[in-house]
Amino acid sequence: MTGAVDSTAPRAGTPRARTPHAPTPHTPKAHRARTRLLRWSPLAPATVLLLLFLAGPIGYCVYIAFTDTQLTGQESASFVGLANFRHAFGDPAFLNAVVLTLVFTVISSILGQNTLGLALAGLMRRASRPVRSLTGAMVITAWVLPEIVAGFLLYTFFERRGTLNALLGWLHLPAQNWLFTLPILAVSFANVWRGTAFSMLIYSAALSEIPQEITESAQVDGAGGLRRLWHITLPMIRRSIGTNLMLNTLQTLSVFGLIWAMTRGGPGNRSQTLPVFMYDQAFLKSLIGYGTAVALLLLLVGAVFSVVYLRLMREEV
Amino acid sequence: MRPTAPLILLAAAVVAAGTLTACGSGSGSDGNTVKIAFIKDTNSKVTVRDDYIRLVAKQFEKDNPGKKVRLVPIQASENDYYTKIQQMMRSPRTAPDLVYEDTFLVNSDIKAGLLRPLDPYIGKWDDWRQFEPAARAAARGQDGKTYGVPDGTDTRGLWFNKKIFKKVGLPADWRPRTWDEVLDAARTIKKKVPGVIPLNVFTGKGAGEAAVMQGFEMLLYGTGESQLYDPGSKKWVTGTKGFKDSLTFIDTVYKEKLGPEVSDALSPNIQTNVAAELLPEEKLAIDLDGSWLGQQWQKTGGGNPWPEWSTTLGQAPFPTQHGTPPGKVSLAGGWTWSVPQRSQQPDLAWKLIQTFQSRQNALEWCVRGAQIAVRKDVAADPRYLKSVPGIGFFTGLVKISQYRPALPAYPKVAAAIGEAMEAVTADDSSPDEAAKDYDAALKSLVDGKTVAKP
């Protein structure tokens, strides 16, 4: 609900100008202030809009997280302090959702989309032109599909009477029922299917930036493919890896439609990641206040990931 | 920054401001339009309610020249529908003038101040005396005011396929007296007719209130008095044997594979599946379901007509656990027409309610919608009594039907019951564990207003 917007919003809302500290004579100072104001004035509408439509809802969201607002069943809401957050940390369903979110993110984003994207980008550089265009088109189509459409497609793919089992039956392999037995794995695969294109595009760009001479000289020095990958390619695209991981992770953390369409967080709560849990609490149990508090905690999880990646990117390069 | 950049930004801002603000203004309320929100079946082919509402709307527009009815059909599962209308009713910009409310939810919405008391209108309406006393209380708030006019009620029981029963040697006038007899019949069918699902009991979170009411409460209310809510102490009940026994019944159905495949049973589409596929294709032998089931198999249902249903399917009351008197259980629910607090056209909305609930239109709806009549004159009408087979049977159940606790906290409690059912069905917990989890959840849901019962 809020996750996707929140991550970029605070930065957009901060004022751009920095205040100089050096004492200056009166007139130039006033002059400079006026110039600054004049320079900012074309941006004024944008700033106002940002404050109104981005900062406003976020502020409102933070406020609601500290109240016991309900969708129905209660006349008025009151301020309850940290009660929602205390409730969350004592709620086994919340902790289950945190664990599932981490599992989902690690499997589908970090291991799946990221690695597969890099592999595809690497392979496509060597592939012939028709193969390259065909693969690229297919992968990107999966990415361009709206989330809910992808969700239903993959539901029909994994479903007990779905495409995958028809294929498995044709090959005389045992059938699966992952949507029921291992739903978190099914939705993770779905997310890999859908999101790999993004990583592939980023890595394709990054790989084409590596100077040919360096790779060639390593080759002349007798470095094999694996060593070239480890000592040349990966260090040189380190920054892209960081950026890609960060964007992927933040996107994956807030995936809702895909999981909702495929499993609704079930069965039981075996695929109830934080966004689904948040929706369930806020809109099905009508506890808007609590759901919003969970949304803020999700934001926190995203922030932790971002800080880790930012540190990784800063080192050594 | 390039010198042209601010210009571009400004232009973008202006465009954005224009488009963004435009979408917020004008809700189409011109004093002559009345907006009516109702639930549309997730199966697009089923248009029984849409058709009926369109019919009444046309009549209303003819009787009130210059007035327009705008239909706001919301195509969603029941849970999503409740959420949607609650959100719509929170703002005067989006609030419909007339809303179709499940009696399950109406008390919660009354408490939240989302609905408008209708007493001033009802006081001047002669037809109100035609409504059964229980129906008049269906949308009565704790403040004693009336917040909705019911358009019918419903009862619940067992539907069974007489052809399959004949094959396994079960009687066509089957009347199980205990839970065990129901299970035994299912076991017989499982043994003798492979490929047929013996017994469907809705369960889990996917089916929503259908699972809680048609499934769980039909069981629970047959285990003894006040197993859910104790009206004496005004507290919710925890730790009862009845609760655990009911979960055990669900557990038995799904563990012995007497029910649909678990992953299908827990899917949100199971209700549509049962009514549109499993029963008409004769792949399901016994179904614990509502009195309205026939509505979409009729000509006016808009779905796949299944004329043979009236001879193929039989009905039986659902028994109490051990056959204790009165020997059968049914729960009654239904929907009401209510006017949101933030409606812009309450007077017009009331006029529309009157049109809906005129004798003629109420009869039309009861016949089309396979509803149990709440107006005495409709209930006695020969056209109603002859409308569908079984209507006499289900109308007869009204006498013994019980109601869900009409309290604001009920929807939350029902959600917790759905979770307990899902945990048992998916085999995540034993019935005892699930009952214990429910007790713990209940305490926080109703602010500790619980009482333990053996």
So what's the ipTM on this one? 0.73
Q: Are B194 and B275 in a shared domain?
A: yes
- Where is the domain boundary, B383, B403, B423? B403
Mean pLDDT for the stretch of residues B216-232: 91
Q: How far is CA A199 from CA A143, A145, A206, B155, in A?
A: 11, 16, 10, 55
**Per-residue pLDDT averaged across B261-290, rounded?**
90
- In chain A, what residues touch B266 (CB-CB under 8 Å)? 180, 266-267
Max Cα-Cα span within chain B = 89
- What DSSP letter does each residue of B360-429 carry, written as one string? HHHHHHHHHTTPBP-BHHHHT-HHHHTTSTTHHHHHHGGGG-EE---STTHHHHHHHHHHHHHHHHTTSS
Q: pLDDT-derived band of residue B3, with 50, 70 and 90 as boundaries?
A: very low
Nearest CA in chain B to A183: B263
Write down the pLDDT at residue B2.
Answer: 45
C-alpha angle A281-A285-A287 in degrees, rounded to nearest 5: 65
With contact defined as beta carbons under 8 Å apart, do B228 and B202 qualify?
no
Cβ density class B250-285: b for 16+ within 10 Å, e for less: bbbbbeeebbbebbbbbbbebbbbbbbebbbeebbb
DSSP states of B123-172 = TT-GGGGGB-HHHHTTTB-TTS-B--EEEEEE-EEEEEEHHHHHHHT--T
Q: Is the predicted pLDDT of residue B406 greater than 60, yes or no?
A: yes
8 Å CB contact between B274 and B213: no
In the prediction, which pLDDT does B301 show? 64
**Strand segments (E) across B196-308:** 197-200, 229-230, 235-238, 284-290
| Distance separating alpha carbons of residues B289 and B156, to the nearest angstrom | 6
DSSP state of B114: -
CATH of the domain at B257: 3.40.190.10
Among the partner-chain residues A46, A53, A179, the one whose CB lies closest to the CB of B263 is: A179
Q: Which of B111, B423, B428 lies closest to A74 in CB terms?
A: B111
Same domain for B70 and B113, yes or no, is yes
Q: Are residues B81 and B150 in the same domain?
A: yes
Whether residue A73 and residue B411 make contact (CB cut-off 8 A), yes or no, is: yes
Across A4-18, B219-233, B371-385, B435-449, least confident range: A4-18
Residue B54 vs residues A223, B32, B38, B51, B69: alpha-carbon distances, Å: 76, 17, 12, 5, 9
- pLDDT, tens digit, 9 for 90 and up, residues B55-80: 999 999 999 999 999 999 999 888 88
- Share above pLDDT 70 across residues of chain B, in percent, rounded to a whole number: 93
**Closest by Cβ to A72, choosing from B79, B86, B261:** B86
- Whether residue B3 lies inside any domain: the answer is no
A177 in contact with B at a CB cutoff of 8 Å? yes
Residue B18 maps to a domain: no
Q: Which residues of B touch A (CB under 8 A)?
A: 6-7, 9-10, 12-14, 16-17, 20, 79, 82-83, 86-87, 90, 105, 108-109, 111-114, 204-206, 261-264, 266, 268, 408-409, 411-412, 415, 422-423, 425-426, 428, 444
In a domain, B5, yes or no: no
> Considering only alpha carbons, which residue of chain A is nearest residue B413?
A285
| B365 and B316 in a common domain | no
> B177-211 as b/e, with b when 16 or more CB fall inside 10 Å?
ebbbebbebbbbbbeebeebbbbbbbbbbbbbbbb
Instruction: Say what the pLDDT of residue A1 is.
Output: 40
pLDDT at A75: 76
Judged against a pLDDT cut of 70, whether residue B244 lies above it is answered with yes
Shortest distance between the Cα of B9 and any Cα of chain A, in A, equals 7
d(CA B413, CA B445): 7
B229, B303: one domain: yes
Running DSSP on this structure, what letter comes out for residue B331? E
The shortest CB-CB distance from A45 to any of B14, B264, B268 is to B14
Quick one: pLDDT at residue B116?
A: 94
pLDDT at A112 over 80: yes
Local structure of residue B326 (DSSP, 8 states): T
Residue in this structure with the two tokens 């969700």, named with its chain if needed: A151
**How confident is the model over B25-44, as a mean pLDDT?**
77
A286 in contact with B, Cβ within 8 Å: yes
pLDDT-above-90 percentage for chain B: 57
Q: At what angle do helices B179-192 and B241-255 cross, to 10 degrees?
A: 10
pLDDT at A299 over 80: yes
Contact A160 B263 (CB under 8 A): yes
A85-314 CATH: 1.10.3720.10
Residue ranges making up the domain that contains B433: 156-331+405-452
Token output for A256: 């809702």
> Half-sphere exposure (CA, 13 Å, Cβ side) for A203?
27
B416, closest residue in chain A (CA to CA) = A285
* Lowest model confidence (mean pLDDT) among A10-24, B6-20, B355-369: B6-20
Residues A134-171 have pLDDT tens digits of: 988 988 888 899 999 999 999 999 988 889 999 999 99
Q: A161: which 2 tokens? A: 């009477």
> What is the spatial distance between Cα B210 and Cα B215, in angstroms, rounded to a whole number?
7
**Could you read off the pLDDT of A209-228 as tens digits, one per residue?**
888 888 888 888 888 888 88
Q: Is the pLDDT of residue A189 over 90?
A: yes
Top-confidence residue, A161 or B128: B128
DSSP sequence for A189-247: HHHHHHHHHHHHHHHHHHHHTS-HHHHHHHHHTT--HHHHIIIIIHHHTHHHHHHHHHH
Token pair, residue B422, equals 């899902």
- Asked whether residue A191 carries a pLDDT value surpassing 50, the answer given is yes
Q: Flag whether B19 is in a domain.
A: no
Chain centroid to Cα A28, Å, comes to: 47
Q: Which two tokens stand for residue B119?
A: 């007493």
Q: Among B362, B379, B403, where does a domain finish?
A: B403
Residue A73 near chain B (CB below 8 Å): yes
Residues B199 and B292 in one domain: yes
Please state, in angstroms and rounded to a whole number, the distance separating the CA atoms of residues A164 and A146.
21
CA distances from B352 to B25, B64, B98 (A): 26, 10, 8
CA distances from A288 to A266, A291, B133, B332 (A): 21, 5, 36, 30
Shared domain for B107 and B126, answered yes or no, is yes
Alpha-carbon distance A297 to A85, whole Å? Answer: 8
Mean pLDDT lowest among A4-18, B72-86, B196-210, B403-417 = A4-18
Distance from CA of A44 to the nearest CA of B (A): 8
What single-letter DSSP state applies at residue B274? I
Into how many domains does chain B fold? 2
- Residue A43 and residue B261: Cβ atoms within 8 Å? no
Report the pLDDT averaged over residues A253-268: 89
B218 with B291, same domain: the answer is yes
Cα distance between residue B82 and residue B50, in whole Å = 18
- Put simply, whether A266 touches B (Cβ < 8 Å) is yes
Q: Which residue of B has its CA nearest to A180?
A: B263
Residue A65 has pLDDT above 80, yes or no: yes
Q: What is the pLDDT of residues B15-28, one digit of tens each?
A: 444 444 334 334 44
Contact call for residues B171 and B388 (beta carbons, < 8 A):
no
Tell which of B83, B87, B114, B143 to mutate to test the A interface (max A CBs under 10 Å): B83
B349, part of any domain: yes
Are residues B353 and B325 part of one domain? Answer: no
B211 and B310 part of one domain: yes
Taking the C-alpha atoms of residue B391 and residue B155, their distance in angstroms, rounded to an integer, is 10
Banded model confidence at residue A291, pLDDT cuts 50, 70, 90? very high
* B111 with A75: Cβ contact below 8 A: yes
- Residue A212: how many other CB atoms lie within 10 Å: 8
Q: Can you give the pLDDT at residue B196?
A: 95
Residue ranges per structural domain of chain A? 3-15+24-65, 85-314
Evaluate whether B76 touches B84 at the Cβ level (below 8 Å): yes
pTM given for the model: 0.78
Sign of the CA dihedral running B26, B31, B37, B40: negative
Would you call B83 and A283 a contact, using CB atoms and an 8 Å cutoff?
Answer: yes
pLDDT at B4 over 60: no
CB-based contact, A311 to chain B, within 8 Å: no
Q: Is residue B23 part of a domain?
A: no
Kindly determine whether residue A72 and residue B7, on different chains, have CB atoms separated by under 8 Å: no
The answer as to whether B339 is a domain residue is: yes
Say yes or no for a CB contact (<8 Å) between A267 and B262. yes
Which of B362, B388, B403 terminates a domain? The answer is B403
Contact B109 A72 (CB under 8 A): yes
- Both B167 and B215 in one domain: the answer is yes
The DSSP letter of residue B315 is E
Question: Average pLDDT in the B208-214 region?
Answer: 91
| Residue B302: pLDDT over 70 | no
